[in-house]
């Protein structure tokens, strides 16, 4: 069983360029796991200083993007 993977990246992150997300996606696709990836982006310009709303929206994207209606994420 595969678990969904969520990435959250600030487009203007001064420490890690947003292009790293494309490399992450390419790596997962090459491993046959690209369908489990949900990538979200924000307009923040900080590294690790995202708002609570941005985190909540990203979790919602993960939930709505990967979990069929009426299903539940596996608990480990």
* 3-class state of residue 51 by DSSP: coil
Q: Is residue 46 part of a domain?
A: yes
Q: Is residue 71 part of a domain?
A: no
Q: What is the distance between the alpha carbons of residues 4 and 22, in angstroms, rounded to a whole number?
A: 17
Q: Which residue has the tokens 């979790």?
A: 59
5-9, 15-19, 70-74, range with the lowest pLDDT: 70-74
Q: Is residue 25 part of a domain?
A: yes
Report which of residues 49 and 29 the model is more confident about: 29
| Chain mean pLDDT for the chain | 77
Q: Is residue 72 part of a domain?
A: no
Per the structure, the complete domain to which residue 46 belongs is given by: 5-66
Read off the tokens for 4.
């969904």
Q: Is residue 17 part of a domain?
A: yes
Total domains present in the chain: 1
Q: What is the distance between the alpha carbons of residues 29 and 25, in angstroms, rounded to a whole number?
A: 6
Q: Is the pLDDT of residue 53 over 60?
A: yes
Q: Is the pLDDT of residue 70 over 80?
A: no
Q: Is the pLDDT of residue 72 over 60?
A: no
Q: Is the pLDDT of residue 24 over 80?
A: yes
């Amino acid at each position: 069983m595969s678990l969904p993977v969520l990435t959250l990246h600030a487009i203007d992150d001064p420490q890690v360029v947003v292009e790293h997300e494309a490399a992450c996606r390419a790596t997962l696709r090459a491993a046959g796991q690209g369908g489990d990836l949900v990538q979200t982006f924000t307009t923040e310009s900080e590294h690790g200083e995202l708002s609570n709303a941005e985190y909540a929206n990203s979790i919602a994207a993960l939930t709505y993007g990967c979990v069929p209606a009426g299903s539940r994420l596996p608990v480990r």
